Amino acid sequence: MGADEYLMYTNEEREFRAYVRKFCEKEIVPHEDKIQKENQYPRDILLKIGQVGLMSVHHPKEIGVGKYAGRGLVYETIVAEEVSAVCAGLDMARMASATLYGKPISRFGTDKQKEKYLKPVIRGEKIGALGITEPNVGSDVAGMETHAEPKNEGYVLNGHKKYITNGSQADFLCVFAVTDSSVHAKQGMSAFIVEKTMPGFSVVKDLDLMGMNGARVSELKFDDIFIPKENILGNIGEGFTICMDELDSERVAIAAEALGYARPALERAVERAATRVQFDQPIRYFEGVNFKIADMATDFEAARLLTLHSARLYDKGKTISKEAAMAKIFATKMAVSVCDHAIQILGGSGYEKENKVERYYRDAKLMEIGGGTSEILRYLVQREIFKENKKNK
């Protein structure tokens, strides 16, 4: 840890980072190679992650596990960075369960829903997934085609979801659907809690991805699934609000994951530059290398600051749509760039799977797409800037 981190994080936050790092070294590192080769994480690792409280930090104390429960988004960013630095696909699964699925239930669910559908997920006993994206619907959430019709004190759900992290592994899913097509989806969308055992739920397939080995990203079908009224999340018509509420914290956590991909790549590049000798001197003395290192380190620190700033604002109850988007845009771009430069600095060995840098690169690329593409987030940022400008006049 650099001296600057002693100013950025509190003593308790640094203690927590050490706790997470120790857990990762003991419980995840021994399985890292197997997860990469078999493209599947052992389910009991998520159970262990839940049992030690690493799914609880972003949830209220009464829901969570351990002394770090209820600490907030800053603590979630620490978990995301440290787990991602070891196994990106595993943290993608953890976050999809605890945050993407968990936060909507935590913030909008009834006490009974939290007891049945959230607490087991936070403990790692069950797995959750968030169902938003569809084959024809990505950034334009309002164009959602999945729909639900009222019937017999409940709703019948029909639709098709794609790119759903944990989709084939999930016990429970928070699924968004249009319930009133006569109005704009912002007013006509609702959220439902779906159990995988409900008749009509099926997994079309798990998708073969460029990176994120270990994670399961799936295509799902919902055919005449009856959803009882007690499984409606929030109120009918509140789906868009629930969806947007979750995205800000998700984007900050993704920015933190990007730090996790970039950090080991940067460390390996620095080590290589200091020890690799060419033309009778370490390659760190060549500007083509050391200027890259300078830019990589500068961008990494800037990404950390943007991420931490957004998380602290969120923990103080502030709206962070602009800040979260900025953090995700910059941090994900930084991670791709840092990993790219690290491969170049390592040369041929950087292209070998044994050195892991090529894996960080493949993992990092996804996050310029998932959770809101960089293009749509830039649109969001400029929109918020001009809103602020108008208010200040």
Nearest C-alpha neighbor of 91 from the set 23, 12, 182, 157? 23
User: What is the DSSP-derived secondary structure letter of residue 30?
Assistant: G
Phi, psi of 48 (to 5 degrees): -65, -40
Instruction: Show the tokens assigned to 264.
Output: 């080991």
Q: Is 250 marked active-site?
A: yes
Q: Which of 219, 246, 250, 257 is catalytic?
A: 250
What does R_g of the chain's alpha carbons equal in angstroms?
21
Question: Do 312 and 341 contact (CB within 8 A), yes or no?
Answer: no
Beta-bridge partners for 129:
173
Question: Do 379 and 284 contact (CB within 8 A), yes or no?
Answer: no
Q: How far apart are CA 154 and CA 137, in angstroms?
A: 25
Question: Do 40 and 103 contact (CB within 8 A), yes or no?
Answer: no
Q: How far apart are CA 244 and CA 300, in angstroms?
A: 28
- From residue 11, alpha-carbon distances to 16, 117, 183, 304 in Å are 9, 34, 51, 18
- The alpha-helical segments, DSSP class H, found in the chain are 5-8, 11-23, 32-38, 43-51, 73-86, 88-95, 102-108, 111-113, 119-122, 185-188, 239-275, 287-315, 321-346, 357-366, 374-392
Residue with tokens 């004190």: 153
Burial zone of 374 (CB within 10 Å; 0-12 exposed, 13-18 middle, 19+ buried):
middle
Active-site residue list: 250
